[in-house]
Amino acid sequence: MRHLLVSLLFTLMPLAGAAVTWADDSVGSITELKGDAHISRGSSVIVAAVAMPVFVNDKLETAPGGKLTVQLLGGSQILLTESSIVVIDKHVVAADKRSNSIIRLLLGRIRAIIGASIEGGVSNFEVHTPNAIAAARGTDFEVAYISGKPCPEAPSCLNYTTVGVYSGEVEVTNPTGPPTAPVSVKGGLQTTVPCQTPPTSPAPYGMEELGAPTYH
């Protein structure tokens, strides 16, 4: 019996080690939470909590009235407003803290604040929505994806993306339409991407409109 127990112990040890390794592979953690939110991880749905680790492929969803902030390794942050859904598709940090990230926004609004590397280099940070890609190289910007409401610039379109930049510069494209040159959006400006059409010319933004209760 003793030999059987020892054999079983050594059989389980690699599995325990694998679990620890998986836990150490987090790409960040939840630092702020207001209201209700949850994380879908594989087949599990977990109630979100402050200090909870976040992993690649996690789907984060905030309830009405909820807000959530994720601090990513390397210094970047993503802030989810209420009724928002994002998936962390990619987040890799180099030795100088320069990161390469893809965040998929399925619904709602997020703000991304990109951290600087140790050597002052910029990180590659992209937010993807169903009809747009916002690519930043070190900046502070906000992206909203609205579904089921008329787009102000194209009322017949009911699914659109808005990108507003607080500082820095963001290149915006629409991968679902005909190939066009990216639209460069600088601090203080915004662009709208209606359905399958190219992004609109940058114009002064009012991002407070994106957070209005009647906007989404």
pLDDT averaged per 10 residues, the chain (length 216): 42 35 73 97 96 97 98 93 97 83 97 72 85 90 96 95 95 94 95 97 72 38
Which residues neighbour 28 within 8 Å (Cβ) at sequence distance 6 or greater? 53, 54, 70, 71, 72, 73, 91
Q: Provide the pLDDT for residue 1.
A: 46
- Scan for tokens 């915006």, then name that residue: 172
Q: Provide the pLDDT for residue 94.
A: 84
Q: Provide the pLDDT for residue 164.
A: 96
Q: Provide the pLDDT for residue 18.
A: 32
Q: What pTM value is reported for the model? A: 0.82
DSSP state of 151: B
Give bridge partners of residue 184 from the DSSP assignment: 171
| C-alpha to C-alpha distance for 170 and 125, rounded to whole angstroms | 10
- Scan for tokens 């994380």, then name that residue: 39
Q: Provide the pLDDT for residue 205.
A: 77
| C-alpha to C-alpha distance for 140 and 58, rounded to whole angstroms | 23
Domain boundaries, the chain: 27-211
Give me the CATH code for the 27-211 domain, please: 2.60.120.1440
Q: Provide the pLDDT for residue 99.
A: 82
Residue of 47, 81, 83 whose CA lies nearest to 64: 83
| C-alpha to C-alpha distance for 146 and 215, rounded to whole angstroms | 8
